[in-house]
Amino acid sequence: MILIKNAKIIEKDTLIKKEILLDEKIVKIADKIDGDYETIDVNGMLVMPGGNDVHVHFREPGFENKETIKTGTMAAAKGGFTAVMPMPNLNPYPDCYENLKVELDIIERDAIVDCYPYGTVTVGEKDKLPSKVEEIHRYVKAITDDGVGVNNLELLEAQMLLAKKYNLVIASHAETPRGNYGPDGEYTAVRNEIELAKKTGCKYHFCHMSTAESFEAIRKAHKEGFTNITCEVSPHHLVLNEEMINNNPNFKMNPPLRSEKNRQATVEALLDGTVCMVASDHAPHTEEEKSREYNSCPNGILGLETMIPVIYTEFVKKGIIGYDRFLDILVNNPAKVFGLPERYLKEGYVSDLIALDIDNPHTYTKDEIVSKGKNSPFIGKTYYGFNKLTIKNGKIIYNNLGGKHE
C-alpha cells in the first residue's frame, strides 16, 4: 500500500490537509495515518481524481508518425488524465467491428490509462452510409464523425435513433457545409442538429463549441428542458483569440480561434453552466507538417499536457471558478455524460489520483513534451497546477515529484 502525506484535497469547495492510504482502491483518508507503508510526500500539492478527457486524437491505427496509443496515453498520464476517449478519424475508421477491433487490440496492448474509443457515425466519415452501430455499440460509449461532421441530416437522424436504442452518445463536430470553418458554419450546424436531438431524444454532445450563437442555441434548448443536449469547450478557445495567431502554425486548429467577443462568450457559457465540461482536442502532428506555412499546415494542437494548468491558473487561481466546479468540468461531468466509471476521492473508490503543484509556477517547454507532436501554442507559457504524480489503479504511472520525469 501507498501512503500519501501532506496532501491538500477538495472538500466542500475548499482545500483541507489530509493523508491518503491506498492500494487498488482508496483505503483511508484521515488527518494522520500511522503504519509502515511506502510513503509519498506531495508537500502540499492538490490531490484529486484523475481527469477524464473525452476528446483526444491518438492517430493509431493509421497515422503512427503523429502519435500512438502508447505515446498518447503517456501524455495523458503526464497531464493528469486517467481516462481518455480517442477520436475515430483513423485508418481503418472504426465504423464496423472488424475495423474497431484493430484499435481495441492496440489499446489493450499499449494503453497506460483507460481508453474508450469512439466509433464513427458514417462509413469512413464520408457522410453517405451509416456505420454499423449494431456491431460496435457494445464496445464504445459514443459515436462521432469528428473532424468533418455529418451534414446528411436524414442519415444523422437514423443514427440518432440507433444511438438512443443502444444508450450511446453522439458527439458532433458541428460544421456546415464541410470545410466552412467560419462561425456561421458552426452555429448553423448546431441549430440544425439541436432540432434533430429534440425530435429523437438521443444523447447529443457538441464538441469544442466556440461561438456566441452556438452557446445561445444550446442555452435555449436547456431552458426548454432538453437535458440530453450537452457541450464542451477547449482550453484554447477559453484563453486565446484570433488576434494572437500571427500566422503561427501552432495556433491553427478547427474550429479556429475566434474573435475576442466569441472568446468571452465561451467563458460566459462555462461560468453559467451551458458548458458542462472542458476537453483538450489533443491533436498532434509531425514537426514537418507544422513547420509549413500557416495556410498549408494541418489543423490541430496539443492539449493533454497543458489543459489542467491552463484551467487552474486562468480560472481557479483567479477565483473565477471554485474547486468543486474545477472537479466537475474535468472529472465528474465527463463521466456522467459519457457513462465513464465514477472517480471520487473517497474511501472505497478506485485509486486513480493525480497531484497538482498549485503553489509553484512552471514554464512549459518543448523539451518536456511527451507526445510525439510538438505543436502547442502554450510552449513558453507559465502556469500553476502542472501535474506531478499520476496513480492508476494504485500503481504509479507518472512521477515528476523530484523534478525528473519517470
Check: CB of residue 371 under 8 Å from CB of residue 282: yes
Which one from 281, 328, 352, 357 is the annotated catalytic residue? 281
Closest CA to 389 of 45, 54, 104, 71: 45
CA-CA distances (angstroms) from residue 144 to 61, 173, 206, 215, 278? 17, 8, 10, 20, 17
Identify the residue whose cell numbers are 477491433.
Answer: 101
What are the cell numbers at 107? 489499446
Q: What is the DSSP letter of 284?
A: -
The gap between the terminal CA atoms of the chain, to the nearest Å, is 20
- Residue 145 is a catalytic residue: no
What are the cell numbers at 197? 436531438
Q: What DSSP letter does each residue of 24-77 carry, written as one string?
A: SBEEEEES---SS-EEEE-TT-EEEEPEEEEEE---TTT-TTT--HHHHHHHHH
Residue 158 amino acid letter: A
Backbone angles phi, psi at 76, to 5 degrees: -60, -45
Q: Which residues are catalytic?
A: 281
